[in-house]
Amino acid sequence: MATGTLETNTVKQKPAKKLSFVLVSPTSNDEGFWGDVHNFARASANDLDVDFSVVYNASHHGLTYLEIMEALLRSPKRPDAILAVSYRRRTKKILALSVKYKIPIFLINNSLPHESREAIGLPRVNYPTYLGHMSANDYDLSKQLTKVLVAQAKKDLPTQVVNVVGISGSRDAPETFNRNMGLRGVIEQDPMARLFQVVHADWQGAEALRKTTALIKRYKNIHVAWYASDLMALHSAKAWNSPLEKHVVSGGFDWTKEAIAAIKQGKLDATAGGHFTDAGFAVVLLHDYFHGKDFAEVFPLVSFSSGGVIHRANVDKYYELLVNKDWDGIDFKKYSRVYYPSQPSYDFSIERLLND
């Protein structure tokens, strides 16, 4: 844990007991991208003296997630606040449970489902316990990633149409919809690019490999393989590395340690991300809220994570931060307006993380 010199006259209003936050994770363990999310949040909570725990969803399904959420809220040891993700056809019920049990909730990682966004509305309006929302701008990140991958393929194919396939996530995840839309949007605007097909592999590496192998058999001359996660991209690499296949430009999402290393080694071309910080920075905002400094006074109730696309030309800039992952070396108190009230707002940028 890094420490700095605190500003004077800080932490005037402190809760009577130690704060307790729970992240209801959509996954079953601390591996890969969600392991980064959990560990970054743990480091943040440790610095801010918050009792933080993760509840896992072994099945990865939205219905089970809802059941886990209700069981947690019914528990006699309910936390002060919950961090949760959004599911299509489930998010309204998740927020309604938060209101019913009067436990504040902060949504992270993905946006509201497009079909229920208007009905849900902004935080603190239709659902008063819905305090805030921080997520990746999946549509924009997907456009950025697609442009990088297509541009890389065009270096070798300056006069040809670039053929693209997409291997996406689960259909009930809002980020799947938004990432698919970003992919399609870029290809539709580029007369020298063609999208053969988008298939869904439910975030599973083995399923992504199976779908990738089927796409290779179905289409000839695939030049770009777009994946909705790094895990799926890396698990599918063996399909593209067979003696029968020439190099295919490929990339995914999440900024995982494995993807960063693969880019450095020339085995992957790009990864889009930055949103692994959502839970950890949400802990900062909730901490300040419970200490009498409502973040809404200076910070948007709905915000996008800082991030972008890492590729071979810029990987060195991010390599140390994202491969070493020394989150305990970050002083998260520096991000809090309780400890540093002179900060005009919250700076959760990746650039600040790189320089801390």
pLDDT, position 24:
96
Using an 8 Å Cβ cutoff, are 56 and 118 in contact? no
CA dihedral 193, 194, 199, 204 (to 10 degrees): -30
> For the segment 205-236, what is each residue's pLDDT rounded down to a tens digit?
999 999 999 999 999 899 999 999 999 999 99
Q: At residue 265, what is the residue type? A: Q
| Stretch 121-140: mean pLDDT | 97
The mean pLDDT value of the chain amounts to 92
Q: Region 235-254: what's the mean pLDDT?
A: 83
Name the percent of the chain lying above pLDDT 90. Answer: 83
How high is the pLDDT of residue 14?
Answer: 56
Q: What is the pLDDT of residue 148?
A: 98
Predicted local distance difference test score (pLDDT) of residue 5: 44
- Of 39, 12, 30, 19, the closest CA to residue 276 belongs to 39
C-alpha dihedral sign at 242, 34, 277, 67: positive
pLDDT at 163: 97
Q: CA distances (Å), 280 to each of 37, 272, 275, in order?
A: 7, 19, 10
Q: Hey, what CATH topology would domain 20-136+275-306+326-355 get? A: Rossmann fold (3.40.50)
Q: Where are the chain's structural domains?
A: 20-136+275-306+326-355, 138-273
Q: Which of 18-22, 249-253, 352-356 has the lowest mean pLDDT?
A: 352-356
Whether the predicted pLDDT of 81 surpasses 90 = yes
CB 321 within 8 A of CB 354: yes
CA-CA distances (angstroms) from residue 13 to 19, 291, 293? 13, 5, 9
Closest CA to 138 of 308, 262, 258: 308
Neighbours of 201 (CB within 10 A): 24
Tell which wins on pLDDT, 228 or 3: 228
Rounded to an integer, what distance in angstroms lies between the CA atom of residue 168 and that of residue 229? Answer: 8
Contact present, 255 and 307 (Cβ < 8 Å): yes
Closest to 107 in 3D by CA, of 278, 237, 272 = 278
pLDDT at 62 (0 to 100)? 74
Average pLDDT (168-196) is 96
Give me the percent of the chain exceeding a pLDDT of 70.
94
Residue 240: band (very low, low, confident or very high) from pLDDT cuts 50, 70, 90: confident
* Homologous superfamily, domain 138-273: Response regulator (3.40.50.2300)
pLDDT band at 257 (very low <50, low <70, confident <90, very high): very high
- Please determine, for residue 306, whether its predicted confidence score (pLDDT) is greater than 90: yes
Does 316 score more than 90 pLDDT? yes
Note the pLDDT tens digit of each residue in 10-59. Answer: 344 556 689 999 999 999 989 899 999 999 999 999 999 999 999 999 87
Give the pLDDT confidence score for residue 15 in this predicted structure: 64
Q: Do domains 20-136+275-306+326-355 and 138-273 have the same CATH topology?
A: yes
- Predicted pLDDT at 220: 87
